[in-house]
Amino acid sequence: MKNKTKKFILGFLILFLSIGISLAKDEKTRKILYYRNPMNPSITSKVPMKDPMGMDYIPVYEDTEETPTVSEEKKEGLVKLTQRDIALLGIKSEPVIPRHLFKEIRTVGRIAYDPELYKAEEEFIQAIKTQKKLAESQIPEVKTRTEALVEAVQLKLRLQGLSEEQINELSQQNEPDRSLIISDEETPYVWVYADIYEYELSWIKIEQPVKATSISFPEEEFSGKIQAIDPVFNPMTRSIRIRARIENPKLLLKPQMYVDVFIESYLTDEKGEHKMELAIPKDAVLDTGIRKVVYLDLGNGSYSGREVEIGPEASSLVDNKKEKFYPVFAGLKEGDSVVTRANFLIDSQSQLTGVEAAAYGGALGAEEEKKPPLHQQH
């Protein structure tokens, strides 16, 4: 890894040096129109000079003033590169299109029985039976107490992570789930408890398929579904616990064993079908920590910085290969072309010339003023 890193850095330096030499040669033949203040592009001079901090004004060449037809709002945010610069930097762009996005979540789970949940289910079933028997009672206090008991046990089940649908199904059963206390031929299941981190919660749903593997049985794969998501968040680990029922037909999995849990979650619509979302490659995004910026390829060697609002990192299949993407919520439209390679070099060029620095403070700048999210701006 160290040799690869050294080769990458060396190649990067050679590339930058070659660009510098190329620009130095071009500067001898290119016509200078004027000189621009490095910190404030609106301040110009017809002759070379320094600003109050002692920094040299930056020359603006004739060819850099040739920009494509865009709105006045975008002109201040343009970065102009020659075709030779584009080739040397290896800049690549991709169109913004809708894609099928999915998230691969990997975590560690523990196999455990849950006698507390078994007891709560048993109490609930008995409370429902009692309520049905006393439904025709003429004593109001009896009905009130029975209803209060049912509500109390329902609350206990909710705190265990059961959904309303699951509680309703349980009310129709005569016995609690036996697999909560034992796994045998009669109930060939086990329960796996795993923690899901905060940034992955939006991808987790009840009845979602999961797979589990164990180092004890490397050739076996165990399937199941998420049955419950705890309603209480753990602030210490920044995670929430899920409970999945896993098939155990050969009774190989035992309590207190650890398993690797794999969850593949797709974005779905209201009907539960996979939906497409406007997305951009992960490499297209420059994350400053406060805002997310991409560079639009406007054609003819012109690039413009654009702030975007994106969702959590996801994956999509491109030519049967998994690649990383972000869903786009605001800032781009279908058909826009974004830079996916060497965008950080364009950003460094924008900071050197002061063009994008005026518009964004430089996407990779150390300090940025706070501003509201895109959907709150007017």
* CATH number of the domain within which 255 lies: 2.40.30.170
What is the predicted pLDDT for the residue at 21? 52
| In a domain? residue 1 | no
Poorest-pLDDT segment among 33-42, 196-205, 307-316: 33-42
| In a domain? residue 35 | no
Distance CA 355, CA 272 (A): 46
Please state the rounded mean pLDDT for residues 280-299.
Answer: 88
> Is there a single domain that holds both residue 142 and residue 219?
yes
| 369 band by pLDDT with thresholds 50, 70 and 90 | very low
- Residue 67 pLDDT exceeds 50: no
Which one has a higher pLDDT value, 203 or 375? 203
Nearest to 68 by CA among 302, 296, 346: 302
> Is there a single domain that holds both residue 86 and residue 159?
no
Distance CA 48, CA 38 (A): 12
> Is there a single domain that holds both residue 176 and residue 248?
yes
- Rounded to 5 degrees, what angle do the CA atoms 263, 264, 267 make? 130
Select, from the ranges 162-171, 250-259, 343-352, 361-370, the one with the highest average predicted confidence (pLDDT): 250-259
> Is there a single domain that holds both residue 256 and residue 299?
no
What is the predicted pLDDT for the residue at 224? 95
| In a domain? residue 147 | yes
Please state the rounded mean pLDDT for residues 253-280.
Answer: 86
Task: Point out the domain boundary residue: 243, 266, 289.
Answer: 266
What is the predicted pLDDT for the residue at 9? 56
| 86 band by pLDDT with thresholds 50, 70 and 90 | confident
> pLDDT digit string (tens) for 108-133?
999 998 888 999 999 999 999 888 88
Averaged confidence pLDDT in the chain: 80
- Residue 29 pLDDT exceeds 70: no
| 195 band by pLDDT with thresholds 50, 70 and 90 | very high
| In a domain? residue 21 | no
Task: Point out the domain boundary residue: 207, 242, 266.
Answer: 266
> pLDDT digit string (tens) for 223-244?
999 999 998 889 999 999 999 9
| In a domain? residue 42 | no
What is the predicted pLDDT for the residue at 2? 56
Distance CA 191, CA 346 (A): 52
Task: Point out the domain boundary residue: 236, 266, 296.
Answer: 266
- Residue 192 pLDDT exceeds 90: yes
CATH label of the domain that carries residue 373 = 2.40.420.20
> Is there a single domain that holds both residue 240 and residue 358?
no
Work out the widest C-alpha separation in the chain, in whole angstroms: 104
What is the predicted pLDDT for the residue at 135? 76
What is the predicted pLDDT for the residue at 257? 95
* Domain span at 374: 66-101+274-378
Which one has a higher pLDDT value, 78 or 329? 329
- Contact indicator for 94, 281 with CB cutoff of 8 Å: yes
> Is there a single domain that holds both residue 128 and residue 174?
yes
> Is there a single domain that holds both residue 245 and residue 279?
no
> Is there a single domain that holds both residue 200 and residue 262?
yes
Please state the rounded mean pLDDT for residues 266-294.
Answer: 83
- Contact indicator for 36, 57 with CB cutoff of 8 Å: yes
| In a domain? residue 218 | yes
What is the predicted pLDDT for the residue at 43? 74
> Is there a single domain that holds both residue 206 and residue 225?
yes
- Residue 355 pLDDT exceeds 70: no
Number of domains in the chain: 2
Phi/psi-derived region of residue 319, left when phi > 0, alpha when psi is between -120 and 50, beta in every other case: left
What is the predicted pLDDT for the residue at 50? 84
| In a domain? residue 360 | yes
> Is there a single domain that holds both residue 145 and residue 189?
yes
- Residue 12 pLDDT exceeds 80: no
Poorest-pLDDT segment among 265-269, 282-286, 349-353: 349-353
Poorest-pLDDT segment among 137-151, 256-270, 316-330, 350-364: 350-364
> Is there a single domain that holds both residue 143 and residue 256?
yes
> Is there a single domain that holds both residue 279 and residue 260?
no
Please state the rounded mean pLDDT for residues 66-70.
Answer: 39
| In a domain? residue 71 | yes
